[in-house]
Amino acid sequence: MIAGHILTPGGFVRGTLAWDGGRITRVQGEPVAEAEVRADHATPLLLPGFIDLHVHGGGGADTMDAGDAVARLAREHVRHGSTALLATTMTAPLGEIEAALRALAPACAEREHGAARVLGVHLEGPYISPDKLGAQPPFARLPSLAEILALHAIAPIRLLTLAPEVAGSLALIPALVGAGMRVQLGHSAATYEQALAALEQGASGFTHLFNAMSALHHRAPGAVGAALAHAQHAEIIPDLLHVHPGAIHAALRAIPGLFCVTDATAAAGMPDGEYRLGRQTVSKCLGGVRLADGTLAGSTLTMDQALRNLVAIGLPLAQAAARVSTHAAQYLGLADRGRLVAGAWADVVVLDAGTLTLRQVFAEGEFVAAAPAG
């Protein structure tokens, strides 16, 4: 049992939270205003564990490395409060993607001690536009339902990013959704009309909104315009490098279920230097990760810093917490994560109310030492 200011679906309470067998058994306390919560630096904050649906790496490990890479990145990110995540692939030759998924499958089946729960795979490529690769290697390919389902049989694909303007993509969306995948639009040069058609076919989100997609122009709204006009959900990277705070606020006003992702690379949690992002060599310097030509290539962001960034640009704490946890859980249809209620998994982050730095992390009730501040 732990005590503090607990964020429940109904707001903050001052009280206690208990669990057994990895699941919350009781949350009790008296309501308290958020202003009082933030002013009381002596009482810890208890928030739902963070959920990151776009993670390429961390702690020096890259998902495409196969081997124990996913275990290493899951151990790194849980220390920053991400109690659940999707291991995210890169565009690569099909054999390399298959090898990465085979290595991921055991981690998807069972959570390792001291690690985040790997909820499944985010397949970010290869079914994207060769004209909007961003930092993806040049191995984009046309989509095939049989090929995707074969990959899904190796390890569960929970999210799949595709470019709707690529030949054959639109027709596949209903079958992919029927197979249990969320389809997101990204790495795409789609027109507004093509993006809207994909949403009408069953696509339900946008991958790292604003980045590597056709931009908003008042006479050619592009994929960004379709997202702002019609999307219920979208990812956004709040490292304050990928997206200007003003654009984040615009997305927050327009998209009810906007949720934060890190798009973290192997450089997350590591010193400046060179790292791998799939087949690419990337450099970490001055808080960012870039290709040799200066292109942003994922991030070094962790979800605890994402929370602090959202609060720093003006979001109330409860709203910021929803964007790094609850909305992602709802998007994947997970009623027992992203919420501190009886019956949910005991995924809990304990923070200092003044600095919003992590004090403790509990993943499915297991204590995990938080990463040192800074």
Give the domain CATH number at 195.
Answer: 3.20.20.140
Q: How high is the pLDDT of residue 276?
A: 82
Q: Is 95 among the domain residues?
A: yes
Question: And the tokens for 231?
Answer: 């999307």
Predicted confidence (pLDDT) per residue in 215-269, tens digit: 999 999 999 999 999 999 999 999 999 999 999 999 999 999 999 999 999 999 9
- The torsion angles phi and psi of 303, rounded to 5 degrees, stand at -70, -25
- Domain of 319 in residue numbering reads as 49-335
Both 73 and 192 in a single domain? Answer: yes
Q: Which residues pair with 15 in a beta bridge?
A: 4, 29
Both 172 and 291 in a single domain? Answer: yes
Tell me the percentage of the chain whose pLDDT exceeds 90: 92
Contacts of 355 by beta carbon, 8 Å cutoff, 6+ apart: 373
Both 218 and 168 in a single domain? Answer: yes
Question: And the tokens for 269?
Answer: 């949690």
Pick 282 or 25 by higher pLDDT.
25
Predicted confidence (pLDDT) per residue in 264-306, tens digit: 999 999 999 999 888 888 899 878 899 988 888 889 999 999 9
Both 306 and 295 in a single domain? Answer: yes
Residue pair 25/234 in contact (Cβ under 8 Å)? The answer is no
Q: Is 215 among the domain residues?
A: yes
Please report which confidence band the pLDDT of residue 80 belongs to, taking 50, 70 and 90 as the band edges. very high
Mean pLDDT, range 302-322, rounded to an integer:
98
Q: Which residues pair with 87 in a beta bridge?
A: 55, 121
**Strands annotated E in 207-299:** 233-236, 257-260, 273-277, 280-285, 288-290
Indicate the average pLDDT of the chain. 96
Predicted confidence (pLDDT) per residue in 28-78, tens digit: 999 999 999 999 999 999 999 999 999 999 999 999 998 899 999 999 999
Q: Is 72 among the domain residues?
A: yes
Number of domains the chain contains: 2
Q: Is 52 a catalytic residue?
A: no
Both 22 and 96 in a single domain? Answer: no
Q: How high is the pLDDT of residue 201?
A: 98
Please report which confidence band the pLDDT of residue 103 belongs to, taking 50, 70 and 90 as the band edges. very high
Catalytic residue (choose from 65, 263, 304, 347): 263
Q: Is 342 among the domain residues?
A: no
Both 8 and 72 in a single domain? Answer: no
Q: Is 347 among the domain residues?
A: no
Both 313 and 245 in a single domain? Answer: yes
Both 229 and 308 in a single domain? Answer: yes
Q: Is 226 among the domain residues?
A: yes
Tell me the percentage of the chain whose pLDDT exceeds 70: 100
Both 41 and 54 in a single domain? Answer: no
Q: How high is the pLDDT of residue 151?
A: 98
Both 20 and 55 in a single domain? Answer: no
The neighbour count for residue 62, using CB atoms within 10 Å, is 27
Both 102 and 162 in a single domain? Answer: yes
Q: How high is the pLDDT of residue 304?
A: 98
Mean pLDDT, range 308-321, rounded to an integer:
98
pLDDT for 374 beyond 80: no
pLDDT for 329 beyond 80: yes
Contacts of 179 by beta carbon, 8 Å cutoff, 6+ apart: 149, 152
Q: Is 174 among the domain residues?
A: yes
Both 19 and 36 in a single domain? Answer: yes
Q: Check residue 29 and give left, alpha or beta (phi > 0: left; psi -120 to 50: alpha).
A: left
Q: Is 202 among the domain residues?
A: yes
pLDDT for 89 beyond 70: yes
